[in-house]
Amino acid sequence: MKKNGLLEIIAANRTGDSLDEIMAKDKDYQDALTQQQIAFDRLDELGLTKEQKGVIDQAITANNHFGAVYGAVAYRFGMEDGIRMSVEMEEILYSLQG
């Protein structure tokens, strides 16, 4: 998959401020954000040592990075599928008209 192509440009534009605006209004996202804050608050209440907090932070960071990379790849594949389907539909319509 080409890393600096048109799909990358589209994805970059759709995942910045535009996505933040949509997420601010999305109930599922807001619910997940609330649950995340509750979980972090519970961690704070445990009185963990600095080292324990560091290990947990590393695990959460690695998991978040994995999810972000997975989501980005899935987004690109979805865009490619959509474009491919659009091209195929045009070809079908063209062949039916011919």
Q: What is the pLDDT of residues 36-59, one digit of tens each?
A: 999 999 999 999 999 999 999 999
Question: How many domains would you assign to the chain?
Answer: 1
pLDDT of residue 19: 80
* Domain-located, residue 92: yes
Structural domain of 82: 6-97
Residues near 76 by Cβ (< 8 Å), separated by ≥ 6?
A: 1, 7, 8, 11
Q: What is the pLDDT of residues 15-30, one digit of tens each?
A: 667 788 888 999 999 9
Beta-sheet strands, E only, within the chain: none
Q: d(Cα 73, Cα 92) in Å, to the nearest integer?
A: 28
pTM: 0.64
* Domain-located, residue 1: no
What are phi and psi for residue 16, nearest 5 degrees? Answer: -100, -120
